[in-house]
Amino acid sequence: MTVNRLAHIFQRLQNPPVRPVYGLFGELSLIRLSRSPPRALAAWRIETTSRFDFTAGDARLDVKTTTGRTRAHTFSYDQCCPPPGSVAVVASLFVERVSAGLALRDLVDEVERLVAVDTELVLKLHVIVAGTLGTALNESLGVRFDDRLADSSLQFFDLADIPAIRDNLPPGVSDVHFRSDLSAMKPTPVEAIIEREPAFEDILPPPAS
């Protein structure tokens, strides 16, 4: 099984990147900050085309990053109309490239250390990183970000509350995306999210003391 997974990694390295490095940094940052990095990684997406970045039970979470100082993100119609009975949340954070920040390579290594007892999770980590960055892997791993800015700016919002297109789409219309500004919204406390759906507890950071 391990040999096959390693072969899968090398195969993915031959493909072009499918997501920007900023988004991957945001997703890995959330895993690093989560109450349980192993369980957060277990809930992490398998495919780059997944509707949500994290899925556990009835919990759905997508990570959105922005290089500006406005919490304006692109959402899909499907994300804002999650499956019935599920609770969908967006994690929003600011990301900024800096010359002396945390390299993506070091963030990957840190997450690996946090889940090192489970070799399957370690393999999953590297498969997803390779599949996301593809031929840009080596170049992207050296990109450095302001991790303190990312960590301090992390906020959560209920996807049911954000400005969105929610009406039924006309026949034949699909793959609808739009940009919503969350700047004027009040973030949802971690405690309130967990109270509504306990499956979030391991994915989200511990409540601030």
Higher-scoring residue by pLDDT: 7, 37: 37
Q: In what order do the strands lie in the sheet with 155-158?
A: 54-56, 59-66, 87-94, 155-158
Looking at residue 17, its pLDDT comes to: 63
The alpha carbon torsion through 93, 94, 97, 103 (nearest 10 deg) reads -20
Whether residue 136 has pLDDT greater than 50 = yes
Mean pLDDT in residue range 179-193: 96
Percent of the chain residues topping a pLDDT of 90: 80
Show me where the domains of the chain are located. Answer: 2-168+175-196
Mean pLDDT in residue range 156-182: 94
* Runs of H (alpha helix) within 74-208: 104-114, 119-133, 137-141, 147-153, 190-196
pTM: 0.91
List pLDDT tens digits, range 39-97: 999 999 988 788 999 999 999 999 999 998 899 999 999 999 999 999 999 999 999 99
Out of 14-28, 62-76, 110-124, pick the least confident: 14-28
Mean pLDDT in residue range 192-201: 96
Looking at residue 207, its pLDDT comes to: 79
Q: Report how far residue 159's alpha carbon sits from residue 43's, in angstroms, rounded to the nearest whole number.
A: 18
Please compute Rg for the chain using Cα positions: 17
Looking at residue 94, its pLDDT comes to: 98
